[in-house]
Amino acid sequence: NLISPRSSASQRSNTPQTGEQVTTAAESDSDDEEEQHQTETYSQYAPSKFKFGKRHPDPVVETSSLSSVLPPDVTYNLLLPESVITKGLLSSLQLEAVAYACQKHNTWLADGRRAGFLIGDGAGVGKGRTLAAIIYENYLQGKKRALWLSVSNDLKYDSERDFRDIGAERIPIYSLNKFKYGKISSKQNGCVRKGVIFATYSSLISESQGKAKYCTRLSQIVRWLGDDFEGVIIFDECHKAKNLYPSASSKPTKTGKTVLDLQNKLPKARIVYASATGASEPRNMAYMNRLGIWGKGTPFKEFGNFIHSVDKGGVSAMELVAMDMKLSGMYMARQLSFSGVTFNIQEVPLTPEFKQMYNKSVKLWIKARQSFTQAAALMDANNKISKSMWGRFWSAHQRFFKYLCIAAKVKTVVDIAKAAIEDGKCIIIGLQSTGEAQTMEQLGEAHGEINDFISTAKGVFASLVEKHFPAPNMERIAKLIGFDYSQNNLVDNNRKRKREEDMSGSDIGNKNGDNEESDSDDSKMIQSDIDSESEEDISKLFDSGDSDDNIQTAPKLEPENTTYGYKSKATKKKMRQGTSLALDNILNAPGIDSSVPSWQRESFPTLNRDSSTTNTRSLTSNINSSISTTPAVAANELKKQLLHDFEALALELPPNTLDELIDELGGPNHVAEMTGRKGRVVCKADGTVSYQARCESDVPLEVLNLTEKKRFMDGNKLIAVISEAASSGVSLHADRRAANQRRRVHITLELPWSADRAIQQFGRSHRSNQVSAPDYLFLISELAGEQRFASIIARRLESLGALTHGDRRATETRDFSKYNFDNLYGRTALEIVFNSITGQRQSIVPIPTDYAGDFFDDISEAMVGVGLLQKQNRWPYYTYEKDYNNIPKFLNRILGIPVELQNRLFAYFSDVLSKVIQDSKKAGKWESGILDFGSDDVVVDKLQSLEFNVSSHHSITSLKITRGLSWEKALEMADATKGSHDGFYVSVQARNYKRVAIFIMQVMTNSNEEPMYQICRPNTGMQKKLEHFSNISKKKGNCKKVAVGLPCEIGLRCRTYHVLSGSVFSVWNCVESVLLNQSRHDKVQIVRLTTNEDEKIVGVLIPNQCVSALHQLLNRVHIQTEDK
């Protein structure tokens, strides 16, 4: 099957002959993957059509995909002072962005609105100066008013600095939140008539409760700008306006709707969107309606049609969006070179003590789920209550185990930080949340007295049980119907009511008189508070509810003949006589049925219904009997027992990560904290622990983060901790102008929830004018379930690179690709896992042989415990949870499985996923994004080009690709090889009556891994995909096309390809109708190549059978366009 490798060059010089026989790898139907490969992700960037200005101070790059397409010619002449250009106040690439933005603003969309511009430059390139220059340019043209929206009031100081840096310090900047509600140009607001209003997105949606004419900030801004406003509106960090387009599980955000409303009210405004993460997913672009990608005059009537086409076209369609926007002159996306930046993922091992505590937590949550289920059944909770309850339960479940995952890394972070500081570096630690809400809640319960750090995980569980356990608050219910629920006070309460019955109404009259003496508004407030309290208490029988949607509606007790909320004498008498009945009525309200089916009673705690005694008064007996006959007490017993079990575990739970981390790193005097929390728990020198406010005597809280930043940049503190609240716009890089020029080690302790937040944190330590690039370190515990967070980031980064940088591989260099599970292949693998575990199908991969026990049985029981499977009592099978193949839900839920079993399950899922991907590649269905044809030895000849002008320039180019490897080159490579399997091999199986000769050589791999080999063929050249020798020896080539009599070019030295280039998305309807329908292709392939004449071509690969049909369709559309 294979010839043994020759030992010398003289032996290799002969034609390969058949020797020892094993089967080789011949060409297969998926050889396109071998013939096309991916080149470098980024290319050095320089303005292609703008020739003014000085070079940017730091290397700037652009993705190879975007660099392959050119923007339109520059026709706009800048009015900026010459000193701005000659002194280098703005670099050439910043001036280029200003020119293209102003040029685009001079065009109009088909619906009559002014076109907008998107700046997608990465963090640190200098978007701030670019935006200030756009405002300055228009200011010089007489447009004296502008609006700048951003994410933080602190960034106003940065914008003022940017204006100073470009020589435009005379342009005044005002904070919107400093204005009173009313006309901005009025006396009460200082008669502001020109300048820049700086506002945050949160202030944009704020409203006044007063009766002012302009009671919203939006109306106030629109009034100041004017209906015919033609000035600049900057949407800085515009990703904050995402989620405008509703999805199945979310509603449009108020911010997104307000941003859209502002644009609609001012159709002539010059809109600039600016963000490094402006379009992490296509559906988050809904507010960018000034780009003209959808709507009148485009292939997509509405945004929904655009989304449908992008989703149908896959990642390749997303990549086309960015390239088309650049071609149209509406988009630029550059970023600092990542040269010198390192990205590493480090898994943190877990200690035996932590694993023991974690497994105890798993058991507690399984019992909690059982208790919640039993109590909800006892109370006969309706669907609305159950849905709300389980939503809160699983949300708390996720946060609880997330806090445990983070806490497991504290010691590792401390060790890394101390070692880095000793090595002459400084530390930046990135978090997403601070746990302040749980801290404040537990502080309130302890009345501010604590003796140790507060555990956020403890707060999450305790808050869930106390607020959302489906058991009625008996004391609250008893209070509502006029008696004390406590046993000792029942008789006394009855005597008090008797005395009140015999008394005159003078007391009540006096109370009413007191109320009448008070201010009328206060009286209304008292009445409102009493009524709302009563209604709230009744409705919140077993759910505190953060919103009206989560509160059960129970019958209201309408007070009769009441004054200011106090019941009349007759009402009290009626209430007293019917106390038992009233309690029954409440407990038997809709959704709280006291009747329990017999099959439920067997497993639920029951009380003795004859528990009433004859030694108490009749009223007491009736009350006790009434309570005993309902399931409410049983539900409360479940709650009490759950809290009792939790008390033992609570002592072992880790403390608040942020407080512990700061303490371990030397305390607040050594750590610069830049977060949004108002206080923290600190350990004093004497060992005592107390809660302290973050604000200092001479530094107010609103500027504390800026002060802490200065301390870090000055070198007074060498460790900085940043949260999401402080991550936008903060510069912590090794600036040449700063005193602290140590190299930054940026540790991501808590993985961000989205790529938007990840990119924001990346940009804090990697910016222009830096001495050294940062080291990025991502810490992931060995808990398999924590891959849930890494999975989301990997998916977001992949989409982010595709949309905002034109190449989905732009972010894969960060070594997240192996953690990307949330895609079609991941969902397919997860469905196979479920079916294999429940016995619905055979496993496609071997199960662990070293596992002690029945692997599938143990896994299925564990998945029942976390609600992914439901066990049927009478039948030997399982039912699946709704959305069971949802990757985030799966990876989140398995956090509640014991450590070892969790890792085993995740390893099995990973093996299945690898098998699914492997099969997809063999079937030719693997979506590989933008592909480059051939290698350095490939010759690309342009045969012909068919030109079209539909809405812009298009062409179908036919190309002849000649590739392969010469015999002389192969001999030269063979002389340099030393591996035991390196050499020439010939297949036994003939293809077209000829045997296939190949050359393989070993490449560098880790010593503990199986060696990988690279295959070289005379017809296709060097294969980019590496393979194991065992796989090479097993493969056989069988062409399905030849078998059915169809022509096949796979494996030929010369092949012909057809590429549609130009503004492809503007004729996307034509592409879809031909490629996705006629050819029955389930994906669109983007290719990139350079001809012998050095012409770069990027476009959609058109199959041979579709060229004629697409040509006719485009030609027909071209003629129709000319007729119009």
Residue 683 pLDDT grade (very low, low, confident, very high; cuts 50, 70, 90)? confident
**Which pLDDT does position 1083 carry in this prediction?**
65
Separation of alpha carbons 32 and 50, rounded Å: 38
Q: CA 793, 797, 799, 805: dihedral to nearest 10 degrees? A: 170
Q: Show Cβ contacts of residue 867 under 8 Å, excluding neighbours closer than 6 positions.
A: 369, 394, 881, 893
- How far, in Å, are 363, 432, 780, 891, 1096 from residue 787 at the CA level? 21, 16, 8, 7, 39
DSSP H/E element including 254: helix 254-265
Separation of alpha carbons 204 and 1102, rounded Å: 47
Residue 394 pLDDT grade (very low, low, confident, very high; cuts 50, 70, 90)? very high
pLDDT at 162 exceeding the cut of 60:
yes
What's the distance, Cα to Cα, between the start and end of the chain in Å? 66
pLDDT at 945 exceeding the cut of 70:
yes
Most confident of 30-44, 634-648, 998-1012: 634-648
> Considering only 468-482, 695-709, 829-843, 1052-1066, which range has the smallest mean pLDDT?
468-482
Please state whether beta strands 1012-1017 and 1021-1022 pair in parallel, antiparallel, or not at all (unpaired): antiparallel
Q: Which residue has the higher pLDDT, 652 or 1097?
A: 652
pLDDT at 534 exceeding the cut of 80:
no
**Which pLDDT does position 305 carry in this prediction?**
87
Residue 155 pLDDT grade (very low, low, confident, very high; cuts 50, 70, 90)? confident
Q: Which residue has the higher pLDDT, 977 or 1005?
A: 977
Q: CA neighbours within 13 Å on the CB side: how many for 1087?
A: 25
Residue 989 pLDDT grade (very low, low, confident, very high; cuts 50, 70, 90)? low
Q: Which residue has the higher pLDDT, 653 or 1054?
A: 653
Q: Which residue has the higher pLDDT, 230 or 251?
A: 230
Q: What share of the chain is helix, strand, coil (3-state, %, to 5)?
A: 45, 15, 40
Is the alpha carbon torsion for 846, 849, 850, 855 positive or negative?
positive
Find out whether 804 and 280 touch, Cβ atoms under 8 Å. Answer: yes
Separation of alpha carbons 882 and 867, rounded Å: 10
Q: What is the pLDDT of residues 900-932, one digit of tens each?
A: 898 889 889 988 988 888 887 766 666 666 677
**Which pLDDT does position 1071 carry in this prediction?**
80
Most confident of 135-144, 399-408, 562-571: 135-144
Crossing angle of helices 456-468 and 436-445, in 10° steps, is 70
Find out whether 774 and 746 touch, Cβ atoms under 8 Å. Answer: yes
pLDDT at 694 exceeding the cut of 80:
yes
**Which pLDDT does position 91 carry in this prediction?**
93
Q: What is the pLDDT of residues 471-526, one digit of tens each?
A: 887 666 666 655 555 544 444 444 444 444 444 333 333 333 333 333 333 333 32
Find out whether 288 and 271 touch, Cβ atoms under 8 Å. Answer: no
Q: Which residue has the higher pLDDT, 8 or 1098?
A: 1098
**Which pLDDT does position 104 carry in this prediction?**
96
Side chain identity at residue 67, one-letter code: S
Crossing angle of helices 899-922 and 824-837, in 10° steps, is 120
Q: For residue 1057, which of 964, 1122, 962 has the smallest C-alpha distance?
A: 962
Side chain identity at residue 739, one-letter code: A
pLDDT at 784 exceeding the cut of 60:
yes
- How far, in Å, are 13, 132, 138, 162 from residue 86 at the CA level? 63, 18, 20, 17
**Which pLDDT does position 499 carry in this prediction?**
42
**Which pLDDT does position 340 carry in this prediction?**
75
Q: What is the CA radius of gyration of the chain?
A: 35
**Which pLDDT does position 141 carry in this prediction?**
94
Residue 73 pLDDT grade (very low, low, confident, very high; cuts 50, 70, 90)? very high
Separation of alpha carbons 750 and 764, rounded Å: 16
Is the alpha carbon torsion for 322, 327, 329, 333 positive or negative?
positive
**What percent of the chain shows pLDDT beyond 90?**
23
**Which pLDDT does position 875 carry in this prediction?**
65
Most confident of 5-19, 420-434, 797-811: 420-434
**Which pLDDT does position 773 carry in this prediction?**
85
Helix intervals (H) in 651-743: 657-664, 704-713, 724-727
Q: Which residue has the higher pLDDT, 887 or 756?
A: 887
**What percent of the chain shows pLDDT beyond 70?**
70
**Which pLDDT does position 81 carry in this prediction?**
94
Mean pLDDT of the chain: 75
Separation of alpha carbons 543 and 385, rounded Å: 8
Q: What is the mean pLDDT of residues 950-979?
A: 77
Q: What is the mean pLDDT of residues 223-241?
A: 91
Q: Helix, strand, or coil here: 484?
A: coil
Q: How does DSSP assign 960-1028, residue by residue?
A: EEE----HHHHHHHHHT---TT-EEEE-SS-BTTBPPEEEEEEE---TTS--EEEEEETTTEE-SS-EE
Please state whether beta strands 983-986 and 689-693 pair in parallel, antiparallel, or not at all (unpaired): unpaired
Q: Which residue has the higher pLDDT, 655 or 1030?
A: 655
Strand intervals (E) in 181-249: 195-200, 232-236
Residue 471 has phi, psi (to 5 degrees) of -135, 130
Side chain identity at residue 1065, one-letter code: F
Find out whether 266 and 236 touch, Cβ atoms under 8 Å. Answer: no
DSSP H/E element including 274: strand 270-274
Q: What is the mean pLDDT of residues 640-646?
A: 91
Q: For residue 180, which of 172, 189, 193, 171 has the smallest C-alpha distance?
A: 189
Residue 237 pLDDT grade (very low, low, confident, very high; cuts 50, 70, 90)? confident
Find out whether 591 and 380 touch, Cβ atoms under 8 Å. Answer: yes
**Which pLDDT does position 1122 carry in this prediction?**
66
**Which pLDDT does position 520 carry in this prediction?**
32
Please state whether beta strands 117-119 and 270-274 pair in parallel, antiparallel, or not at all (unpaired): parallel
Q: Is 666 left (phi over 0), alpha (psi -120 to 50) or beta?
A: left
pLDDT at 592 exceeding the cut of 70:
no
Q: For residue 600, which of 634, 625, 628 has the smallest C-alpha distance?
A: 634
Q: CA neighbours within 13 Å on the CB side: how many for 898?
A: 11
Separation of alpha carbons 137 and 114, rounded Å: 17
Q: What is the mean pLDDT of residues 782-809?
A: 55
Q: What is the mean pLDDT of residues 231-236?
A: 95
Q: Which residue has the higher pLDDT, 103 or 519?
A: 103
Strand partners, 343: 776
Residue 114 pLDDT grade (very low, low, confident, very high; cuts 50, 70, 90)? very high
Residue 262 pLDDT grade (very low, low, confident, very high; cuts 50, 70, 90)? very high
**Which pLDDT does position 1123 carry in this prediction?**
65
Q: What is the mean pLDDT of residues 944-956?
A: 72
Residue 1106 has phi, psi (to 5 degrees) of -105, -10
Residue 1121 pLDDT grade (very low, low, confident, very high; cuts 50, 70, 90)? low
Q: What is the mean pLDDT of residues 1054-1066?
A: 83
**Which pLDDT does position 1041 carry in this prediction?**
59
Separation of alpha carbons 623 and 494, rounded Å: 12
Q: Which residue has the higher pLDDT, 876 or 87?
A: 87
